[in-house]
Amino acid sequence: MTRRPGFVGHRISADRARVTLLRGIPVSDRVQSWAECSTLLSLEQLVIAGDFLVGKKCRHAIDELAGVVAGRCGLRGTRLLREALSLVAVGSESPRETRLRLQLLREGFRLPLLNCEIHDEQDRFVARPDIIFGREHVVVEYDGDQHRTDRKTYRDDKRRREALADAGWHALYLSDDDLTGEHWAAFVGRLRRALSRGEAGARTRVAPGPGPA
């Protein structure tokens, strides 16, 4: 097993190895590397990496990740890896979105839809929000700093917010400042109230996508 600064060696039987070539050097492939990082990364970091693997850039199936996890029974880090796998979801498009979803799950909210298109009753595109609670017609959008500083982004956001409201959707927005402390508690309260009210008058549909919301 290789021992040198900057390298972490792993032993694995030949029948379970997933190997690819990097500049002519045999290395673990992406899914195998994700599993091997279970002794190095936190739960949140493993979920972020898992979301990336099943996302639109890599397009690995969750079953593929599950197969690698199943083959690591008894190895160090497997328990954490199983927990991470249970939280991986198709549809997240950034670490920020994954962290927000995990925070919502920790607060007891169900798994939402992620980055699915909303269409009106004439099947016209309305918006593609970060997080969607379809039954209640509630969406959550993250506002980064560019939403405030970039004029075009600001105008596009304004039009999207108006379109969602016209279609009967209740949209909640949050920024980095809302993710901790009393601001987060206030946001959670707003979201709970929005979900409890729902939006029975919305006449729209959500395009098929990942998640049960």
Residue ranges covered by each domain of the chain: 14-87, 95-206
Half-sphere exposure of 8 (CA within 13 A, CB side): 8
> How high is the pLDDT of residue 147?
53
Buried b (16+ CB within 10 A) or exposed e, 141-162: bbeeeebeeeeeeeeebeebee
pLDDT tens per residue across span 179-201: 999 999 999 999 999 999 875 55
Residue 157 has pLDDT above 70, yes or no: yes
CATH class of segment(s) 95-206: alpha beta
pLDDT tens per residue across span 95-122: 999 999 999 999 999 999 999 999 988 8
24-38, 171-185, 187-201: range with lowest mean pLDDT: 187-201
> How high is the pLDDT of residue 154?
79
